[in-house]
Amino acid sequence: MKKYIHIFVVACILAPLSSFAHEGMWLPSLLQQLNEEDMQANGFKLTADDIYSVNKSSMKDAVVWFGRGCTGEVVSNKGLILTNHHCGYGQIQSHSTVENDLLTDGFAAQSFGEELPNNGLTVSFVVRIDDVTKSILDGVKDGMEEEKRQEIIKANIEKVGKDAVNGTHYDYIIKPFFYGNEYYMFIMETFKDIRLVFAPPSSIGKYGGDTDNWVWPRHTGDFSIFRIYADKDGKPAEYSEDNVPYTPKYHFPISLNGVKPDDFTMVYGFPGRTKQYLPSEGVSYTVETSNPIKIAMREKTIAIYDKNMAADDAVRIKYSAKKARVANAYKKWIGESKGLKRLDAINKKNEQEEMFAQAVKGNKEYEALLDKFQEEFKAMEKYQLGRDLFIEELYYGPEILRFSLGFKALKDVKPNTPDFEQALMKLKGSAKGFYKNFDLATDREVFVSASSMYSDAIDPSFLPSSFAVAKEKGSFDKLANTVYKKSIFANEEKLMKLLSGSPEGIYKKIIKDPAFVIGNEIYEVYGNEIAPEYKRLSEEIDLSMRTYVKALKEVFPNREYVANVKGASKQYWSDANSTLRVTYGKIEGSEPRDGVEFKYYTTLEGVMEKRRTDVPKTHEFYVPQKLMDLYKNKDYGQYGEDGKMMVCITGSNHTTGGNSGSPVINAEGQLIGINFDRTWESTMSDLMFDPVKCRNIIVDIRYVLFVVDKYGECPRLIEEMTLVKN
C-alpha cells in the first residue's frame, strides 16, 4: 500500500532570499552552532537536530557513503537506496553481456530474489561525529619538527580510533580539518551486501552522454537503485542468501509537490575534495600547467575509445565504464579552467593575499608566509607535474602496464609456500577480471598516444629509459609492437599457462617481460625520484597552509571580507575531504554568459527535442520507443505537473565530486531530487565558488519515480516509499 502524507501549509512571509549566501560545505554536527539560524531565516522549517542527532533518528541515518566515492539515500523501510546511474555504472556493467546488455536495456528486479549482488560494493552510515582535536594534538608542541608532529598524530589517531570502536562492529575515520588545525572522528557502520534493484537504460540514465556532461540544460535520468541487505539481526554481513533487507533507522519521505524558484534546498553527502584556501601560485599551476596537459592526454584517449567502441559492440561494453571514468574529469577540467579565467581567479587571489600581507605586517609568525608560498610552489612544480603525469600514464593510460605491475606481489614471496599460493590465487582472479574488459588493439593505441605525450611533458630527468629511446627515435610504434606482440600480458592463455606452471619460473619470466619492464621503469622513477621530494614539499606546503588558514581566521574573523567573491560565507568552513557535509542554497536558474539566461528546470519535451532518429540504441541521444509513447500520450500519472514531465532542476548549492547521488532536500526535509552534476561554469567551485554562476544539477525525484513506475513497470518499489503530496 503506498503511503501518502497530505499536508496543508499555511502561507507565511519569509525574509527575502536575495542576500542568501550559498557557499560552504558544513559539518552536520556543527550546524546548530554555525548555520541553523541562517538556514531557518532562508526558509528551512526544521532544526539542526533533525539533520544530525546522536540521540534520535535523523536525516544522517538515511545518508550513505556509496562505494566510498559517491553518496546515496535510503528511501524505504526495507533498505532501498537511490544514487546516480553513473555511481552504479560499474556494477551495472559488471552484470552486462552482449546477450544481456543491462547498460543498454536497463534492469528491473520484480522481486527480492531477482536483485543482483555486487562483490566489493559497500555503503557506510555515519553513526556519530566527534571533535577529537584535543586528543589528536596531545603531545604536539609549537615549533616541533613536522616529522615528529606527524608521528605523534598518527599514534594518537590509532589510539583514539581503536578505543572508540572497541567491542563494536563499527569502523572509524579520523581526518584533519583546516589543514590539521582541527581533527574530527567519524564512527561508521559499513554494509557489504548491496544488491542492484533497478537501472534505467543508458538512453535515460546516461542520456546526452559526454556531450551533455557538465552542461545545462540537461535531460538525464541519472539514477540507479540498490538495496542494503543485513543479517537477521540487522547487522552488516558478507553476501548470503540468508541475508534480509535492512531496516534503517530513518528513510527520506519523497515530495511529489515539485519546486519553484527561491525554494530552500539542502544537499547532504560526502563531497570529495576542494581547495578553497589555495594561494595564487596553486591556482596558477592548475590553470596554466596541470589542466592543459591532462586535458590533452585524455582527449586523445577518449577519441581512441570512441572509434573502437563504435566499431565493435564487445569493445563498447568493455570500455563504457572506462570511458566514463576518463571523460568525467576531462570535461570538468576544461570547464574549471574557463571558469577560473572568467572569474579572474588568479588576480582575485593576488588581491586577497595583498590584503593579508598588509594585515600581518610586523607579525613575525605570519608576515613571511606569502614569500614562503612562492618558494615552495616553485620548487614543487616539476614534482607535482611528474606526479600528475604518472597518474595519467599508469592509472588512466595503457592498462597493460598497470596490470603487469600487480605481479610485483610475487617478488618477495617464496615459491611453494602458502603465501605464494595465496598471492597466485589473487592474481589469477585479477587476471580473469582484467581480460574480461580488455581489448588489445585499443590499449595499444592508448599506449602510443599517452606514452608519447607523457614523454614530451615530463621533466627530462624523470624520463624512463625505454621512453627516452623511443622519444629519440621519434616514434612509440616500435616500442608498442614490442609490448603488444611479445608481452605475456597481451595473451590471457599464455599468462594463465605460466601461472599454472612451475612456481620457481613465474617471477623470473615476468621481470623480463616488456610490459612489466616499462611499467616498472615508470613506477621506479616515480617512487625513487618524484614521490620522496613531492612528499617532502607537500609537507612543507601543508605546514604553511595550516599556518595560513589559522592566520586568516585570526586576522579576518569575517571570511566574507577576505574571500574577495560576492556572496562568500561569513563563516569559515573546512575544505571537503570525503566526510559527511551539508550545503544549502535555493532553487534558481542561471545566467552563465552574457546574453544567456536559463530556466531552473527542464522537461521531457527537451528530451524529445534532442532526440536523434537515425542512431543505434547505444547513441547518447537515442530515445526508447516506450518513452516516446509515454510522452506522446502524456501518461505521467501522479508525477506530472500541469501536463508536463519535469526532468532536471538546478540549485545554488555548493557541491563537488562525491556529492554525486546526494539527496536534495526541501525545507520540510523531504526528498525533491538526486544531485548528479554541476554546470560547466560551476566546475571552478572546487577552488573558488561564485554564487552568481555556480549551479548544481539535480534529477527531479518525480522523473525518477515516473521512470521506475511507468517506464520500468516496477510499482513494487514505489509501494515501499513514503510519498508526500499536498
DSSP 638-666: GG-BTTB-EEEEEE-----TT-TT-EEE-
Residues 158 and 115 in one domain: no
- For residue 237, the 8-state DSSP code is -
pLDDT, one tens digit per residue, over 54-109 is: 999 999 999 999 999 999 999 999 999 999 999 999 999 999 999 999 999 999 99
Residues 356 and 489 in one domain: yes
pLDDT, one tens digit per residue, over 167-218 is: 999 999 999 999 999 999 999 999 999 999 999 999 999 999 989 999 999 9
Residues 324 and 455 in one domain: yes
Comparing C-alpha atoms, which of 439, 422, 432, 445 is closest to residue 495? Answer: 432
Q: What mean pLDDT comes out for the span 224-252?
A: 98
Count how many Cα atoms sit within 13 Å of the Cα of residue 549 in the half-sphere of its side chain.
21
Task: Round to whole Å and give the CA distance between 471 and 451.
Answer: 9
pLDDT, one tens digit per residue, over 268-289 is: 999 999 999 999 999 999 999 9
Give the pLDDT of residue 594. 84
Q: Which three cell numbers, joined as nine digits, stand for 75?
A: 528511501
* Tally of domains within the chain: 3
Give the pLDDT of residue 4. 41
CB 370 within 8 A of CB 356: yes
pLDDT of 2 over the 50 cut: no
Q: What mean pLDDT comes out for the span 693-713?
A: 98
User: Is 689 inside any structural domain?
Assistant: yes
Q: Which three cell numbers, joined as nine digits, stand for 484?
A: 603488444
pLDDT, one tens digit per residue, over 520-541 is: 999 999 999 999 999 999 999 9
Count how many Cα atoms sit within 13 Å of the Cα of residue 295 in the half-sphere of its side chain.
15
Comparing C-alpha atoms, which of 226, 273, 221 is closest to residue 246? Answer: 226
Find how far residue 278's CA is from the centre of its chain. Answer: 20
Give the pLDDT of residue 502. 86
Comparing 155-159, 427-431, 643-647, the range with the smallest average pLDDT is 427-431
CB 335 within 8 A of CB 214: yes
Give the pLDDT of residue 662. 99
What mean pLDDT, rounded, does the chain reach?
Answer: 94
Task: Round to whole Å and give the CA distance between 483 and 527.
Answer: 23
Residues 404 and 492 in one domain: yes
Residues 183 and 254 in one domain: no
Query: What are the φ and ψ backbone dihedral angles of 706, each rounded to 5 degrees?
Result: -60, -45
* Full domain range(s) for residue 148: 127-190
Task: Round to whole Å and give the CA distance between 710 and 450.
Answer: 45
Give the pLDDT of residue 16. 36
pLDDT of 13 over the 60 cut: no
Give the pLDDT of residue 17. 36
Give the pLDDT of residue 564. 67
CB atoms within 10 A of CB 421: 13
Degrees to nearest 5, angle at CA 459 with 391 and 301: 40
Residues 201 and 230 in one domain: yes
Count how many Cα atoms sit within 13 Å of the Cα of residue 436 in the half-sphere of its side chain.
13
User: Is 374 inside any structural domain?
Assistant: yes
pLDDT of 249 over the 60 cut: yes
Give the pLDDT of residue 415. 87
Task: Round to whole Å and give the CA distance between 134 and 3.
Answer: 47
Q: What mean pLDDT comes out for the span 452-458?
A: 98
Query: What are the φ and ψ backbone dihedral angles of 264, each rounded to 5 degrees?
Result: -65, 140
CB 666 within 8 A of CB 66: no
- The catalytic residue positions are 86, 222, 660
pLDDT tier for residue 20 given thresholds of 50, 70 and 90: low
pLDDT, one tens digit per residue, over 99-152 is: 999 999 999 999 999 999 999 999 999 999 999 999 999 999 988 988 899 999
Give the pLDDT of residue 503. 85
Task: Round to whole Å and give the CA distance between 215 and 208.
Answer: 9
User: Is 486 inside any structural domain?
Assistant: yes
Give the pLDDT of residue 111. 98
Residues 61 and 147 in one domain: no
Residues 237 and 145 in one domain: no
CB 111 within 8 A of CB 249: no
